[in-house]
Amino acid sequence: MAASYWKSSQFEQWLFDRQELISSRLKDISSWSTNPSSSTVITEDDYLKVLIFYSNIIQHIGEQYKVRQQVIATGIIYLKRFYARYPLKSIDPWLLCPTCLFLAAKVEEFSTLNHQRVCNAAATTYKKYVHLLNGPTEYPYSIKHILECEFYLLEIMDCCLIVYHPYRSLDMYTREFQIDQQLFEATWRIINDSLKTDAPLLYPPYEIALACLLLAATYRDKMSLLKQYMIDAQIDIERIYDVVKYLLRYYQLITTYDADPPNDGKQIKDILSKVPKPKINSNDQTARPASQPNEQQQSTNNNSQQNNN
């Protein structure tokens, strides 16, 4: 484990440029099929709602298993890292979600989760949302698939598994600013929400923690103290407010996010129906992406040559 965030693989390999992230996402969106009879245009907001949906799936599975929030947070980051590099059709999110949680529990030293219980929790969550899916009525994956997917995930992330979260920075700010329990809990909840945004892929944890604290402290007596701290510590205030904007955008998206009761789920069902499904190999294994871009290109070229022959 790196001694500090600034020497970690998270900082050196897994912080993305915003334009890079948007470009990758738009490229993925362009491959989605649209219904010719529908005037609906697939937007980046639709894509974000899909990522929110599957982040919530990890949250639901983790809560069923009663794992710590930090384990759930690490699992969500793994999911977002994967789909920041590869399209949604690479691996079925319903397979990747329990796999991310399974691996995160090991990394966070929560304990090795029981394979069957993870599968059962994923199956229970699947049944809860099956009415939104255009797929099998029963959870289609087994323990074998999750264990195999774990190796793919390790390979693609280059074994960069340690994740620094804003929770640690929040503890530091709590002591420094003598934050009361009510403000601490409000900030903690906003940090949980920040996992559903792009902020963890773009900003270091201390900036996310500070932005969440700033948002939670709105109209509280700590506001002036926080602003003075940022000035004294020469923190780039613009970056902090950029994180706040990501959070506000998330809260705006949530107002039209209808996957959970009492909503009917019509909108998210329509969006999910447009997401391309992963290809299945003849040996009944979900196709995985290449671990390197040149490998992916070589695979494409080989397939083209075979088709020409």
Q: Which two tokens stand for residue 280?
A: 């299945």
Give me the count of residues in the chain: 309
pLDDT score at 40: 63
pLDDT score at 281: 54
Q: Using CA atoms, how far apart are residues 184 and 179, in angstroms rounded to an integer?
A: 6
Q: Any alpha helices (H) in the chain, and if so which ranges? A: 9-13, 18-30, 44-65, 69-85, 93-107, 115-129, 143-156, 166-177, 181-194, 199-202, 205-216, 223-232, 237-254, 266-274, 293-308
Q: Which residue shows structure tokens 């639709």?
A: 46
DSSP state for residue 113 in the 8-state scheme: P
| Cβ contact 83:50 at 8 Å | no
CATH of 166-254, one of 1.10.472.10, 1.20.120.430, 2.40.50.100, 3.40.50.1370: 1.10.472.10
CATH number listed for the domain at residues 42-162+277-292: 1.10.472.10
pLDDT score at 226: 83
pLDDT score at 306: 47
Q: Which residue shows structure tokens 């007596």?
A: 221
Q: Using CA atoms, how far apart are residues 142 and 285, in angstroms rounded to an integer?
A: 11
The candidate with the shortest Cα–Cα distance to 246, out of 22, 13, 6, 3, is 22
pLDDT score at 294: 44
pLDDT score at 37: 44
The candidate with the shortest Cα–Cα distance to 51, out of 180, 200, 156, is 200
What is the reported pTM?
0.87
Domain boundaries of the chain, sorted by first residue: 42-162+277-292, 166-254
Per-10-residue mean pLDDT of the chain, 309 residues long, equals 74 90 90 58 90 96 90 96 92 95 88 84 94 90 92 87 93 89 94 96 95 88 80 89 96 93 89 82 50 45 48
